[in-house]
Structure 1
Amino acid sequence: MTTPVRARIDWVDRARALSILMVVLLHARIELAFLGATSPTIEFIVNFASTMRMPLFFAASGLFAVSWVERRSWREVFSRKLMLLLWVFLIWQPVVFAYKVAEMLFLPEQPDNTLGTQLAKVALSPFRPNGELWFLWALALFFVLAKLTARTPIWIRVGIPALFSVVWMSVASSVPEGVLRIVGDGWEGALKYYVFFAAAVAFSPRILRFYNEARRVTLLALLTVWLILGGLTSLGIISMGFPGGRFVLCVLGVAGGFALARLLSGVPGLARIGSNTLPVYVAHIPIIVAGTVALFLLGAAPAIRNAAGVSIVLLAAVAVAGAWWVHRGLIRSRAGSLMYAPPARLVRWASRARDEASPRP
């Protein structure tokens, strides 16, 4: 008999939706910047949101991970969670290779790169995550780390990851760009963000109870603290450059993000997006790159530059809608559905292996 997975909670799903929407906006801004389209307003929003974007996603994921970490067997975690995350990460690597090559061949202002380098990145992706899908690799790693340490004291489960996060966030800005590119987004993200996943797992009952019961004035206060400190920092009015300052802003970003998710209960569609973020996460970047390349080849770069802010927002919206459309189209076929989940035969094999390994009564 299996332990039921924690039921979905709308405000946690809305938090995940907020995260993915911020990620899509970031990537639309990055790609259109290759065409010279920059918007001070979008730039401010993207930089300001950086202390909420990924910390909020991993914290929300941690809230839903408790039953997997604390009550599921290793075999069940492997067959139901790790296999899904790693399968999707690997099956989309050819797509990552394709859009990276498209960027290299067609878009101006690209970093120095070669076809051989792109092939090497794909080959090494299980060890050094390649492309914007690093979060899938990181989530798999986070599940393993959280389960390995599930019975250890809180200072090991949360304290040590917090120390790594504080140290890395404090020194990352001084690390040469070349070194950061070697380390890669996956390892850098794991160092910075694992603590938010681990803390959410460790304190899940308290977090859920607090936000479920919090009054509107409390939620507004939490959001306001992040808005003020984050805004003043982004504007350069105050500095949070001291050791641990960035980490404090990320903690406030998570607290404010959960509060905002509760406050947005009347916004339709957010919870639905957050309950199934995978289609948007994996497909939005190929759509953004394809759209940017098409605009460049059609000679639309001057028009895009003249309306940069609107163009970035529109491209982000098209990417979200397009990712859902691609998902709906692919899952109708057996081959297409493999882009979002491992083969049923493989899952059944893993489940049977688990059951056969369990002691008979």
Structure 2
Amino acid sequence: MLQTTEWGPGRRDWMDVLRGLAVIMVVVTHTVRLIQYYDDPVPVLPTIINILTPLRMPMLFLLSGMLVPRSLLKGTWGYLKGKLSKVLYPYVLWTVILALLSALAAGAFVFPDLFHLLFIESATPLWFLGYLVLYYAIALLCRWVHPLIIAVAAVGLSMLPIEGEWERFWYQAVAFFIGVALGPFISGFERFLDNRILCAVLFTAATVAVTIQNLYGQAPQGVIWKVVITVTFFVGAAGLVRPIASARFLSPIRYVGERTIKVYILHWPFIEYPLRWMTSNGDVPLRWLIPITFLCGLVPPVIITVLADRYRAVEWFFEWNPPARRPRKASAKEPIER
């Protein structure tokens, strides 16, 4: 069903920038939400976090879905091997590592219930990877079923009255499979993004709509509404970012976007444990607690990511059987694996 000949060699810098911005928004979100457990944050920050909710993770899933058609061209085994080594493997490994760290921090060493953490407890910090594993598995159906049909089915499934994270799982799936449907037409989509005025209007409309929703509660909050907001914001943001995506001043954000999974995995422990120490061992003013915690959640993960790029022993923590030598910068001829 899916065919793509439009990608060609090379990365899309605008995709890396958007992905990097989304991961930075994740770090900001978790910084503010964890600080709320200890103190009242700056009043405006929780509102900003709520505004970013339909724009943050759904955009990451949509971007991940856009890469699926290219990955499927490797064949079923090549596709599965990449996802098993670069998504499932770090998901399992780091779920265990974080569970053990939490047990040690609580002063009670208990080996985690791995099955429960991986497949039932979606509130763990690595739920993004868990969802991706399942979406990539479902995406194999796209060889025979159009991804938009799966997206429509996901909308229906999200509306079933089932408790837990059911609605969130299928809402994110809608964004992912819209991305899968868009992937084969990347060149045409980029030509559409050349209309800067329209993209600016879409970006502004989505931002204003979600701001009104959070400030006044006047907008509906169903799955269809969220998907419309997500897609509108994504298209607008992509059009605004694309002309400047290759600029040198954006290279740090592009780097974070190229290494999304590593930074995402590492940000949580580097936020949680320094924050626990600062709140229990010192009287750090709130105005300093927020920026310090944010930097802890971003700078050390990036440093470890750089080390993983250079040393295979470090890369083993994020990929099963990584290459013996890895270039400092991703090859322009290699497909993006997420």
Instruction: Give, in whole Å, the separation in 2 of the partners of 1:218 and 1:78.
Output: 38
Give the match for residue 223 of structure 1.
Answer: 203
**2:189 paired residue among 186, 210, 229:** 210
Contact preservation (8 Å) 2:171, 2:223: no
**1:194 paired residue among 173, 178, 186:** 173
CA gap 1:215/1:330 in 2 versus in 1, 3 angstroms: closer
Instruction: Give, in whole Å, the separation in 2 of the partners of 1:140 and 1:154.
Output: 16
Cα drift, residue 254 of structure 1: 2.8
Alpha-carbon displacement from aligned partner over 1:122-153 (angstroms, at most 9, x marks no partner):
34234235621121222122122112233224
Give the match for residue 34 of structure 2.
Answer: 31
Instruction: Give, in whole Å, the separation in 2 of the partners of 1:242 and 1:276.
Output: 32
Tell me, what secondary structure is at the counterpart of 1:203? Answer: helix
Give the match for residue 110 of structure 1.
Answer: none
Is residue 2:249 matched to residue 1:256? no
Amino acid at match of 1:268: L
Give the match for residue 82 of structure 2.
Answer: 80
Amino acid at match of 1:326: I
Stretches of structure 2 that go unaligned for 5 or more consecutive residues are 324-338
320-329 or 273-282, which deviates more: 320-329
Instruction: Give, in whole Å, the separation in 1 of the partners of 2:155 and 2:316.
Output: 36
Give the match for residue 304 of structure 2.
Answer: 326
Is residue 2:338 matched to residue 1:338? no
Q: Under a length normalisation based on structure 1, what TM-score does the superposition of the two structures give? A: 0.76
Give the match for residue 12 of structure 1.
Answer: 15
**1:99-178 matched pairs, under 5 angstroms:** 99-101=101-103, 119-120=112-113, 122-128=114-120, 131-153=124-146, 156-165=149-158, 167=159
Instruction: Give, in whole Å, the separation in 2 of the partners of 1:262 and 1:287.
Output: 31
Instruction: Give, in whole Å, the separation in 2 of the partners of 1:104 and 1:256.
Output: 45
* Superposition CA RMSD, Å: 2.9
Give the match for residue 52 of structure 2.
Answer: 49
Alpha-carbon displacement from aligned partner over 1:185-231 (angstroms, at most 9, x marks no partner):
xx654322111111111122445523444222122111011111011
**2:227 paired residue among 247, 253, 266:** 247
Contact preservation (8 Å) 1:55, 1:253: no
Is residue 2:216 matched to residue 1:232? no
Amino acid at match of 1:135: F
CA gap 1:5/1:24 in 2 versus in 1, 3 angstroms: farther
Give the match for residue 359 of structure 1.
Answer: none
User: How many residue pairs are counted as aligned between the two chains?
Assistant: 313
7-16 or 247-256, which deviates more: 247-256
Cα drift, residue 239 of structure 1: 2.5
Instruction: Give, in whole Å, the separation in 2 of the partners of 1:263 and 1:99.
Output: 43
Amino acid at match of 2:296: V
Contact preservation (8 Å) 2:126, 2:265: yes
Tell me, what secondary structure is at the counterpart of 1:52? Answer: helix
322-331 or 191-200, which deviates more: 322-331
Alpha-carbon displacement from aligned partner over 1:311-354 (angstroms, at most 9, x marks no partner):
32442233211101123345655543211110259xxxxxxxxx
Amino acid at match of 1:45: I
Give the match for residue 349 of structure 1.
Answer: none
Cα drift, residue 19 of structure 1: 1.1
Tell me, what secondary structure is at the counterpart of 1:95? Answer: helix
Instruction: Give, in whole Å, the separation in 2 of the partners of 1:154 and 1:343.
Output: 31
Q: Which protein has the larger Cα radius of gyration, Structure 1 or Structure 2? A: 1
**2:250 paired residue among 243, 247, 268:** 268
Instruction: Give, in whole Å, the separation in 2 of the partners of 1:243 and 1:65.
Output: 23
Identity across matched positions, percent? 21
Contact preservation (8 Å) 2:151, 2:177: yes
Q: Under a length normalisation based on structure 2, what TM-score does the superposition of the two structures give? A: 0.81
Instruction: Give, in whole Å, the separation in 1 of the partners of 2:69 and 2:9.
Output: 8
Give the match for residue 111 of structure 1.
Answer: none
Tell me, what secondary structure is at the counterpart of 1:53? Answer: helix
